[in-house]
């Protein structure tokens, strides 16, 4: 099994350019199904989740050519309506294909994404919204069968929680539906704005992306386009935490500071000096970080759940007690046990984690429990004294492109052993 071997306690210094955002690239790839001429996505990050989306598109009948960070999708004449169970299970975000397949094929047969390393991942909000748009849903032996016998039509849909996935599925189903859809309590994440911008570039008529109410006027067809995926704000948060934890200095290029404001204010609270310009963020960390009082994960523009674990690793060596409250997922503290093996002092109860900063962490053999939990271990290992070996890298490879190259370019000592 391959592993990352990290020799810690080296100060990170230098500059990095961000990759495209995984959480945007995946819905954009699903949305590419909807056009009737080729779509070219640039700055598409080379990740295993992107490769999984490409396999799904090929299964659905598309021709997909990948070259570097550029992915070209040529839609097939017809679109299949199923995704094989293995592909659904490989990537939980595959549920974002539901709205797109329904719009293209008029029906979709997908197995439930089921639970994952973050706890149960229900899709009730997605299904309830689609039902309001003319979809009938039947569940049978772990598979959900969705049909729109009379086509999809617009509706006023109110989400009881601003779910990112449900917002994406409603957008994908609504762009080619008959009439207007008004989506209330929509997710406001920057990745939603990116999806709306992409769809509008393809000819959709969407207003309000990034706001609580999104209006989608259905159109008859979408055309292809060339589109650059937005930069990855979670990759940015991870590198900033990595530089901060080593007392380092980092210039991130391609960053959108506005997307990072909740994370930047936490870094500032910990004592980092930050300078944000239109598309760069510069961080200079103190010798010893200060505590962060309380981090509450919330829907955007609140603190992102995806940055909770890497920032917790940073708090683990800060001076004082920091508190985390995870409000999005039930089971997002799996990395805590691994951080403890490295000497961190963290107690959890339900949604709360209390982190007593320690003077130093020490290298250990640890395992990635999930994607962002893996990133937390990398951050901790960079700060730790001695050598850390991190295995189960499949999790990290889902979401971080060329991680060890990026860190090594900043002066870290990180080697992947196969
Ligand atoms: C979530 C994050 C997103 C992140 C992604 C990957 C939020 C609001 N969303 O998106 O920023 O990039 O994980 O880590 O931070 N839920 C239901 N029923 C549903 C759908 C969701 O109960 O039909 C619940 C989930 O159990 C969870 C919460 O809503 O507690 C967040 O769900 P959602 O935003 O849909 O999750 P993702 O789309 O995976």
**Domains in the chain, ordered, with CATH?**
3-18+231-417 (3.65.10.10), 22-228 (3.65.10.10)
pLDDT tens column, 146-174: 999 999 999 999 999 999 999 999 999 99
The secondary structure of the chain in percent helix, strand, coil, rounded to multiples of 5, reads 35, 30, 35
pLDDT at 63: 97
* Rounded (10°) angle between helices 164-174 and 124-132: 30
Token match 């049909």: residue? 147
Once rounded to an integer, what is the mean pLDDT over residues 387-413? 96
Once rounded to an integer, what is the mean pLDDT over residues 5-9? 97
Residue 305 near ligand 1, beta carbon < 6 Å: yes
pLDDT at 142: 84
Nearest to 216 by CA among 160, 152, 268: 152
pLDDT at 122: 86
Give residues with Cβ within 8 angstroms of 228, minimum separation 6: 20, 41, 42, 43
Residue 333 near ligand 1, beta carbon < 6 Å: no
pLDDT at 330: 86
Catalytic residues: 116
What's the mean pLDDT when you consider all of the chain? 95
Strand, helix or coil for residue 318: coil
Is this model's pTM higher than 0.75 or not?
Answer: yes
Token match 């900063």: residue? 357
Sequence-ordered alpha helix ranges (H) in 215-327: 233-245, 261-269, 305-315
Backbone angles phi, psi at 385, to 5 degrees: -85, 130
Predicted confidence band at 117 (pLDDT cuts at 50, 70, 90)? Answer: low
Helices (H) and strands (E) in the chain, counts: 14, 23
pLDDT at 334: 94
pLDDT at 1: 81
Residue 122 near ligand 1, beta carbon < 6 Å: yes
pLDDT tens column, 335-355: 999 999 999 999 999 999 999
pLDDT above 90 covers a percentage of the chain that reads 92
The closest residue, in CA terms, to atom 16 on ligand 1 is 122
pLDDT at 92: 78
pLDDT at 178: 98
pLDDT at 331: 78
In DSSP notation, 179-191 reads SEEEEET----HH
Q: How far is the CA of 143 from the centre of ligand 1 (A)?
A: 20
Residue 124 near ligand 1, beta carbon < 6 Å: yes
Give residues with Cβ within 8 angstroms of 258, minimum separation 6: none
The closest residue, in CA terms, to atom 33 on ligand 1 is 163
Token match 């961190």: residue? 344
pLDDT at 378: 98
Q: How far is the CA of 305 from the centre of ligand 1 (A)?
A: 9
Q: How far apart are CA 413 and CA 415, in angstroms?
A: 7
Q: Which two tokens stand for residue 258?
A: 């506005």
pLDDT at 112: 78
Token match 């060890």: residue? 404
> What is the position in ligand 1's atom list of the atom closest to the CA of 168?
38
307 pLDDT above the threshold of 70: yes
pLDDT tens column, 49-84: 999 999 999 999 999 999 999 999 999 999 999 999
Once rounded to an integer, what is the mean pLDDT over residues 80-104? 92
114 pLDDT above the threshold of 70: no
pLDDT tens column, 255-272: 999 999 999 999 999 999
218 pLDDT above the threshold of 90: yes
pLDDT at 232: 98
Given a contact cutoff of 8 angstroms between Cβ atoms, the answer to whether 320 and 309 are in contact is no
Once rounded to an integer, what is the mean pLDDT over residues 196-218? 98
Give residues with Cβ within 8 angstroms of 196, minimum separation 6: 171, 204, 206, 209, 210, 214
């Amino acid at each position: 099994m391959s592993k990352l071997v990290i020799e810690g306690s080296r100060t990170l210094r230098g500059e990095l350019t961000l990759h495209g955002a995984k959480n945007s690239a995946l819905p954009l790839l699903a949305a590419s199904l909807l056009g009737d001429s080729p779509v070219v996505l640039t700055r598409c990050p080379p990740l295993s989740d992107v490769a999984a989306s490409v396999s799904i598109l090929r299964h659905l009948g598309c021709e997909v050519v990948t070259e570097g960070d550029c992915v070209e999708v040529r839609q097939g004449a017809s679109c299949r309506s199923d995704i094989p169970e293995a592909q659904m299970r490989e990537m939980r975000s595959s549920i974002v294909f539901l709205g797109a397949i329904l719009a293209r094929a008029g029906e979709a047969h997908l197995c439930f994404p089921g639970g994952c390393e973050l706890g149960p991942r229900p899709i009730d909000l997605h299904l309830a919204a689609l039902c309001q748009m003319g979809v009938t849903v039947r569940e049978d032996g772990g598979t959900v069968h969705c049909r729109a016998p009379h086509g999809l039509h617009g509706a006023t849909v109110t989400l009881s929680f601003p779910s990112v996935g449900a917002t994406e599925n409603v957008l994908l189903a609504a762009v080619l539906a008959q009439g207007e859809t008004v989506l209330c309590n929509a997710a406001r994440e920057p990745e939603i704005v990116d999806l709306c911008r992409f769809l509008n570039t393809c000819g959709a008529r969407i207003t309000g992306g990034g706001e609580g109410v999104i209006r989608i006027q259905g159109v008859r067809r979408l055309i292809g386009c060339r589109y650059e995926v937005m930069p990855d704000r979670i990759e940015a948060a991870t590198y900033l935490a990595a530089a901060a934890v080593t007392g380092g200095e980092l210039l991130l290029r391609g960053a959108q500071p506005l997307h990072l404001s909740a994370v930047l204010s936490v870094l500032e609270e910990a004592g980092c000096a930050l300078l944000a310009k239109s598309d760069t963020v510069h961080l200079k960390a103190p010798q010893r970080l200060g505590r962060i009082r309380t981090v509450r994960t919330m829907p955007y523009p609140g603190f992102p759940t995806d940055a909770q674990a890497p920032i917790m690793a940073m708090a683990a060596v800060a001076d004082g007690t920091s508190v985390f409250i995870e409000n999005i997922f039930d089971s997002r503290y799996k990395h805590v046990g691994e951080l403890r093996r490295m000497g961190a002092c963290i107690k959890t109860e339900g949604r709360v984690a209390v982190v007593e900063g320690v003077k130093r962490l020490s290298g250990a053999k640890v395992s990635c429990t999930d994607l962002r939990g893996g990133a937390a271990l990398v951050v901790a290992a960079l700060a730790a004294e001695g050598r850390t070996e991190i295995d189960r890298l499949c999790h990290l490879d889902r979401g971080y492109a060329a991680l060890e190259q990026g860190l090594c370019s900043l002066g870290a000592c990180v080697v992947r052993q196969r």
